Amino acid sequence: MGLQQGKTAPDFELKDQDGEKFHLASELKKGPVVLFFYPADFTPGCTAEACSFRDSYEQFTDAGAIVAGISTDSANSHRKFASKYRLPFTLLSDTGGAVARKFAVGRRLMGLLPGRETFVIDRNGMVRLNFNSMGPKGHVRTALQIVRELKGD
């Protein structure tokens, strides 16, 4: 079970699929951030989840949110994944899993598989949602609901 609602999100910096730095504190200055941790590029469930975020991406950006996916895959793998499925958002490479540990994202299947959790972080760095489900469905709908509520704040 990951970092809980009401806690301050830990700051981090990771490289994206293009080798650019993504610094959470800098991104929060622009608006709320949706981080979805997922097990691996190109797997059926992760592809479904990423494509679901892709299909709702405009709704997130219209509400002022930044969307980023995080897995332990390399930047090169992320670049291929984003290209193949036309993913418009940032994919971050957490190769050692340090950021997932900071967010207390659990592992599944006796510790063999990285967890699937989605966090919505408001502009103040507060976790407003932690959605923990190995199923890829529900992450987008639940995160979008919270982002829209934040827009009304």
Beta strands in 38-152 (DSSP E): 66-71, 90-93, 107-108, 113-114, 117-121, 127-132
Whether 21 maps to a domain, the answer reads: no
Count structural domains, the chain: 1
Whether 7 maps to a domain, the answer reads: no
Catalytic residues: 46
User: CB under 8 Å to 146, separation ≥6 — which residues?
Assistant: 120, 128, 129
**CATH for 139:** 3.40.30.10
Amino acid 132 reads N
User: By residue range, what is the domain housing residue 135?
Assistant: 39-152
- pTM for this one? 0.93
Whether 27 maps to a domain, the answer reads: no
pLDDT averaged per 10 residues in sequence order, the chain, 153 residues: 86 97 97 96 94 96 97 97 98 95 79 81 96 74 93 71
Instruction: Give the model's pLDDT for residue 3.
Output: 77
